[in-house]
């Protein structure tokens, strides 16, 4: 399956950063391009839920022209057929002190206008929102940082509950996340401190974006994806102790999500 203009999913964002800073963020932030890679899903033995495998390094770089162009490819199964998804990042000046970042994904074929396309479009929007937050708050650190990734299936669902209810339930379990307000994390949930910047509601992918003060400075995304919902916690942490803190944070969230 090859990409065409008809099956393209295209989104963009203007960021308050230089072209070079935006480039470093696109190529270096582990929680940004991850949202553009195919979601790896496997069915449980009982056939009732699906879980993300957490597989990494699924995208291949096929073209790179620093600091303006990055093209990656990834193998995926779309509507039951093998496909190669091609994602193109273009970075260009956008007025005084700003940069335009645009991402285009092709290879979904007819599915681009259906459910897989909606999910991909919503995940791309999360990627660009996270990119903008990183560049606003950590413009000179955007190509660095320690990554956190934890995932788990949505539990406690009724037969008629789907993605939107699962995400609302997930965030309600975590704490009080009100946009532009300090985060309140409930007892028993891995500790987080900071501000909820935004809650993004979608049909197949929803996310909350957090600017973290603790356990280390950084940016976190709490997301739910799919009709058989999968919860993900992704973050990039900064600071001298970011590495060990990120490892501990990933383990804590993986354990919590396995029980939530």
Looking at residue 102, the DSSP 8-state letter turns out to be E
Domain count of the fold of the chain: 2
The DSSP line for 14-46 is: EESS-HHHHHHHHHH-TTTGGGGSPPPEEE-TT
C-alpha to C-alpha distances, 86 to 125, 126, 150, nearest whole angstrom: 17, 18, 25
Cβ atoms of 124 and 35 within 8 Å: the answer is: yes
Q: Do residues 202 and 117 share a domain?
A: no
Domain that holds residue 243: 145-260
**Dist CA 111 CA 105 (whole Å):** 12
Q: Do residues 84 and 177 share a domain?
A: no
Q: Please identify, among 90, 109, 144, the residue that sits at the C-terminal boundary of a domain.
A: 144
Q: Do residues 36 and 119 share a domain?
A: yes
**Dist CA 25 CA 41 (whole Å):** 27
The structure's pTM equals 0.86
- The CATH number linked to 7 is 3.30.530.20
**Dist CA 9 CA 120 (whole Å):** 8
Q: Do residues 162 and 100 share a domain?
A: no
Q: Please identify, among 98, 128, 144, the residue that sits at the C-terminal boundary of a domain.
A: 144
Q: Do residues 8 and 128 share a domain?
A: yes
Q: Do residues 120 and 150 share a domain?
A: no
Q: Do residues 7 and 111 share a domain?
A: yes
Q: Do residues 174 and 208 share a domain?
A: yes
pLDDT in tens, the chain (260 residues): 334 445 788 999 999 999 999 999 998 887 787 777 655 444 344 443 334 444 445 678 899 999 999 999 888 777 777 888 899 999 999 988 899 999 998 988 877 777 767 888 888 899 999 999 999 999 888 767 899 999 887 765 544 567 778 888 899 999 999 999 999 999 999 999 999 999 998 888 899 999 999 999 999 999 998 777 889 999 999 999 999 999 999 999 999 998 87
Q: Do residues 30 and 133 share a domain?
A: yes
- The CATH number linked to 238 is 3.30.530
Q: Do residues 103 and 14 share a domain?
A: yes
**Dist CA 257 CA 205 (whole Å):** 17
Q: Do residues 114 and 160 share a domain?
A: no
- Beta-bridge partners for 77: 82
Q: Please identify, among 144, 176, 205, the residue that sits at the C-terminal boundary of a domain.
A: 144
Q: Do residues 69 and 86 share a domain?
A: yes
């Amino acid at each position: 399956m090859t990409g065409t203009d008809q099956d393209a999913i295209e989104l963009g964002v203007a960021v308050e950063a230089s072209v070079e800073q935006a480039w470093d963020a696109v190529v270096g932030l582990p929680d940004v391009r991850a949202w553009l890679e195919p979601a790896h899903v496997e069915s449980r033995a009982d056939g009732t839920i699906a879980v993300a495998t957490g597989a990494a390094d699924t995208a291949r770089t096929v073209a790179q022209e620093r600091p303006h162009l990055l093209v990656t490819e990834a193998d995926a199964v779309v509507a039951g057929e093998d496909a190669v998804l091609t994602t193109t990042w273009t970075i260009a000046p956008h007025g005084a002190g700003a940069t335009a970042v645009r991402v285009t994904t092709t290879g979904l074929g007819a599915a681009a206008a259906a459910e897989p396309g909606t999910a991909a479009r919503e995940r791309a929007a999360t990627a660009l929102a996270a990119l903008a937050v990183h560049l606003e708050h950590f413009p000179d650190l955007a190509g660095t940082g320690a990554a956190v990734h934890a995932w788990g299936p949505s539990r406690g669902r009724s037969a008629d509950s789907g993605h939107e209810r699962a995400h609302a339930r997930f965030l309600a379990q975590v704490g009080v996340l009100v946009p532009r307000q300090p985060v309140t994390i409930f007892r028993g949930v891995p500790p987080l401190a900071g501000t909820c910047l935004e809650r993004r509601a979608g049909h197949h992918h929803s996310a909350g974006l957090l600017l973290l003060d603790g356990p280390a400075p950084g940016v976190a995304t709490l997301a739910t994806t799919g009709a058989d919902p999968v919860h993900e916690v992704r973050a990039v942490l900064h600071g001298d102790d970011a590495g060990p803190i990120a490892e501990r944070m990933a383990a804590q969230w993986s354990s919590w999500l396995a029980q939530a």
